[in-house]
Amino acid sequence: MIVADKKPIEEIIEAVRPYGRLLILGCNECVTVCEAGGKKEVGVLASALRMYFLNQGQEKRIDEVTLERQCDHEYLEEIRDRIDNYDAVLSLACGVGVQFTAEKYLSKPVLPGVNTCFLGVTEKRGLWTERCQACGQCILAYTAGICPVSRCAKRLLNGPCGGSTKGKCEISKDVDCAWQLIVDRLKALGRLEDYEKLFSIKDWSTDRAGGPRKVVREDVQI
């Protein structure tokens, strides 16, 4: 899923200050799972903002809506008939949801309420970690199912580098060395000799480097 983190309340306050009528728009998917932008967070943020502006003596109308998803036309349509009641939308979806909302309601300022971080997993409640950078050309088959692009601090394809120490990355004792994980897993699979295969130079054109990407599936288009 896409993992996001709450923006500091001070930043949000400054962003919404100019607007009298505000819609806080949550999303029921990834940001709900990572507890950054679901219905619950929308409620908490709305109360906090109401309280703050009340204390400041500023009149503000703050409403709450949480959509099934903000990255799909059909769900975004659900607010079409009420969007004009607001001066701005504070979206707690990931950057994708924020942009799609803005694209759909061109005349409305749409502000991000979270920092979109990465594609990751819930390791345990309150701990989310990165697993993929969506490079568009997956190499997990050759790296024992562990992604060096997203999990090695230098995204080395033939690592580990000389900084790997006791299973940890040179950048921090709290970060696993991705290549230690890969080697351990190769060993467990009885495939350690695979490590010696040279990884040739990667085609990054399917990554961000190639410009905005597109997936076209004519077979499912209607």
Partner 1 sequence: MTTKTPSKLEKILASGQLAVTSEVGPPRGSNPKHLEEKANIIRNHVDAVNITDNQTSVTRLCSLAACIRLKLMGLEPVLQMVTRDRNRIALQSDILGAASFDIHNILCLSGDHQSFGDCATGQNVHDLDSMQLIQTVRRMRDEGKFLGGADIDRPPRMFVGAAANPFADPFEIRVMRLAKKVAAGVEFIQTQCIYNLDKFELWVKMARDRGLTEQVHIMAGVTPLKSAGMARYMKNRVPGMDVPDEVVKRIAGVPKEKQPEEGIAICVETIERLKTVPGVHGFHIMAIEWEEKVPEIVERAGLYPRPQV
Angle at 190 between CA 185 and CA 193, to 5 degrees: 90
Could you tell me which stretch among 33-41, 107-115, 133-141, 179-187 binds partner 1 (CB under 8 A)? 179-187
Phi and psi at residue 76, to the nearest 5°: -65, -30
**Would you say 109 and 91 are in contact if contact means Cβ atoms under 8 Å apart?**
no
52 binds partner 1 (CB under 8 A): no
Contact partner at residue 133 from ligand SF4, partner 1, none, CB < 5 to 8 Å by partner kind: ligand SF4
**Would you say 90 and 111 are in contact if contact means Cβ atoms under 8 Å apart?**
yes
Selected from 9, 54, 139, 209, the binder of ligand SF4 by CB under 6 A is 139
Strand order in the sheet with 114-124: 2-6, 114-124, 127-132
89 binds ligand SF4 (CB under 6 A): no
Could you tell me which stretch among 45-53, 72-80, 89-97, 197-205 binds partner 1 (CB under 8 A)? 197-205
152 binds ligand SF4 (CB under 6 A): yes
Instruction: Tell which phi-psi region holds residue 84, choosing left (phi > 0), alpha (psi between -120 and 50) or beta.
Output: alpha
User: Which tokens in the block code for residue 152?
Assistant: 């090695």
Which residues contribute to the site for partner 1 (CB under 8 A)?
A: 153-167, 170-171, 177, 180, 183-184, 187, 192, 195-196, 198-201, 204
Which residues contribute to the site for ligand SF4 (CB under 6 A)?
A: 132-135, 138-140, 147, 149-150, 152-154, 156, 159-161, 163-164, 169-170, 177-179
